[in-house]
């Protein structure tokens, strides 16, 4: 049993998908060493040559932020990147509404291995965003590659670029993948479904005692 997710704010929204016209990525980051954003920026610097409309919104704050700002400038991708610090994270909903892909590029380091599945990844799946994530902290329980999202390797920039190219080329599959992602979230975190499952478990236990 998982703790239920609050579905009252993150409503499912169908999105128009055409990566050649518009492609908006979003990451919520604490800008720690394991954020994985640096490799993503190198990937975007390559991808923007073909997908000029690619936009990457990075929300958050942290110790690596100034270094990342310098890298964005050096890679000459300032027109493709937005860095936003939101004090009230409830406001993240409006940025979700403008996005197509929720990207969680974190790299696993021993220090960060017990952080758990980020709640914003679950909220993104609930909202109808395509989730692209590294496989860490049990995320593969939610995100099955090419089924309910996409899993990436963020240790190798070349592999990361190739995976992004694959994802973009298969944009026609996003809608069914997104729907499967929402269905997965419902099955694990919807409070009504979770409560019903809990009641069934109690009934099974009670029947076995009789």
Question: For residues 64 and 189, what is the distance between their CA atoms, to the nearest angstrom?
Answer: 32
Each residue of 92-130: pLDDT tens digit? Answer: 888 999 999 999 998 764 444 445 678 889 999 999 999
Closest by alpha carbon to 23, among 58, 56, 60, 64?
Answer: 56
Residue extents of the structural domains in the chain? 23-209
Distance of CA 205 to the CA centre of its chain: 37
- Residues 142/125, Cβ–Cβ less than 8 Å: yes
Tell me the per-residue pLDDT of 53-69, one tens digit each, with 9 for 90 and over: 999 999 999 999 999 99
CATH 3.40.50.2000 matches 23-209: yes
Apex CA 148: angle with CA 116 and CA 44, to 5°? 80
The continuous run of DSSP H or E covering 168 comes out as helix 157-169
Burial of 8 (0-12, 13-18, 19+ CB in 10 A): exposed
Average pLDDT, the chain: 84
At residue 95, the pLDDT reads: 92
SS3 label, residue 183: helix
- Beta bridge pairs of residue 145: 149
Local confidence band at 38 (pLDDT 50, 70, 90 cut-offs): very high
Q: What are the angstrom distances between the C-alpha of 111 and each of 33, 114, 115, 153? A: 10, 8, 9, 19
Q: Decide: 4 and 191 in contact? Cβ < 8 Å.
A: yes
pLDDT single digits (tens) 15-25: 888 888 899 99
Answer yes or no: is pLDDT of 206 > 70: no
Task: Determine contact, residues 107/36, Cβ cutoff 8 Å.
Answer: yes
pTM: 0.85
The helix or strand, by DSSP H or E, that contains position 131, with its residue range, turns out to be: strand 130-134
**pLDDT number for residue 73:** 97
Confidence of residue 7 (pLDDT cuts 50, 70, 90): low
Residue with tokens 């809608």: 175
Residue 78 CA: distances (Å) to CA of 9, 69, 132, 164, 189: 31, 9, 22, 20, 37
């Amino acid at each position: 049993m998982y703790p239920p997710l609050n579905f009252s704010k993150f409503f499912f929204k169908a999105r128009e998908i055409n990566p050649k016209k518009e492609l908006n990525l979003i990451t919520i980051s604490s800008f720690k060493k394991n954020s994985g954003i640096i490799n993503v920026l190198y990937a975007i610097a390559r991808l923007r040559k073909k997908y000029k409309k690619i936009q990457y919104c990075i929300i958050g704050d942290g110790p690596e932020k100034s270094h990342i700002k310098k890298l964005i400038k050096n890679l000459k991708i300032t027109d493709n990147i937005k860095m936003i610090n939101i004090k009230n994270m409830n406001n993240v909903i409006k940025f979700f509404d403008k996005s197509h892909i929720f990207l969680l590029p974190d790299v696993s380091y021993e220090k960060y291995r017990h952080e758990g599945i980020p709640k914003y990844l679950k909220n993104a799946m609930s909202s109808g965003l395509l989730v692209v994530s590294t496989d860490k902290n049990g995320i593969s329980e939610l995100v099955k590659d090419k089924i309910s999202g996409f899993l990436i390797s963020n240790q190798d920039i070349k592999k990361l670029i190739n995976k992004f190219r694959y994802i973009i080329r298969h944009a026609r599959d996003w809608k069914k993948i997104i729907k499967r992602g929402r269905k997965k979230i419902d099955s694990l975190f919807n409070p009504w479904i979770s409560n019903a499952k809990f009641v069934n478990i109690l009934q099974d236990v009670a029947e076995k005692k009789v």
